[in-house]
Amino acid sequence: MTLLNVRNLSVTFETDYVKINAVRDVSFDLAPGEKVGFLGESGSGKTTTALALMGMIPDPGRISGGSVMMGETNYLALSTDAMRAKRLTEVSYIPQGAMNSLNPVQKIKYSILDGMIDHGQAPDAAEVDDTVEDLLKRVGLPPETANRYPHELSGGMKQRACIAVAIALRPKLLIADEPTSALDVITQRQVMETLDSAQQELGSALILIGHDVGLMSQFTDSLIIMHQGQVVEHGKTDEILRNPQ
């Protein structure tokens, strides 16, 4: 069974002076529960590919070709509003650098609730605290985290708060963009175990973007190696690491 089917996905950034083919004919399939790692140097197209899956390519970029099928739905054919409705409910993005992705003047509780409210799935007033506490518990954070601001949390706690936001509406696909960057080795392990546990509980698929081959070897089933916007290797993690091309 295939959850996500990507065929010949291409992304172009074009101005009056230059045209760059940032992603070129990327194709892959993803099964429910599968964990795939996107590896490659900076600028190889990993994050751009992930953003394209969610219809989040910023100007002057555009998706110039291909299809992204989730079930019977081609995400690239959806309107802006229809695609926005898919985010968090079907596919969630955990951004790189949690320090910059949480609202600095908003308590963690409301960062979690924002997406639920926007999708019309906010809990009843009497259940708000229990719902937020349950999500925080699932990512290994104490209940009092709900009433703290981002600056009151460590880097690892902020990253886990971002995971709580991402899993709030039980998406089918999680995309984690270098979720352990700027964290020490011990905290990296804790964050990855939190992400792994949340993904397994949901039964969702996971796309993990990063540079750390050791981390990828421990937490992914398969690897996609990218170079200059193209997929140059794709296969089972242990096979690629044993016999890299």
pLDDT of 154 higher than 70: yes
Residue in 142, 176, 147, 137 with CA at minimum distance from that of residue 159:
176
pLDDT at 75 (0 to 100): 96
pLDDT of the residue at 182: 76
No. of helices (H) and no. of strands (E), the chain: 8, 10
Residue ranges of alpha helices (H) inside 139-184 are 155-167
pLDDT in tens, 77-129: 999 999 999 999 999 999 887 667 899 999 999 999 999 999 999 999 899 99
What local confidence, expressed as pLDDT, does residue 106 receive? Answer: 95
CA end-to-end span of the chain, whole Å?
28
What pLDDT is stored for residue 99 in this prediction?
67
Per residue in 178-222, pLDDT (tens digit) is 998 878 888 889 999 999 999 999 999 999 999 889 989 999 999
pLDDT of res. 34: 96
Task: Give per-residue pLDDT as tens, 57-83.
Answer: 989 999 999 999 998 999 999 999 999
Tell whether the model's pLDDT for residue 169 goes beyond 80: yes
User: Average pLDDT of the chain?
Assistant: 93
- Mean pLDDT over 157-162 rounds to 93
| Alpha-carbon separation of residue 132 from 26, 31, 72, 93, 202 (angstroms) | 38, 29, 32, 19, 17
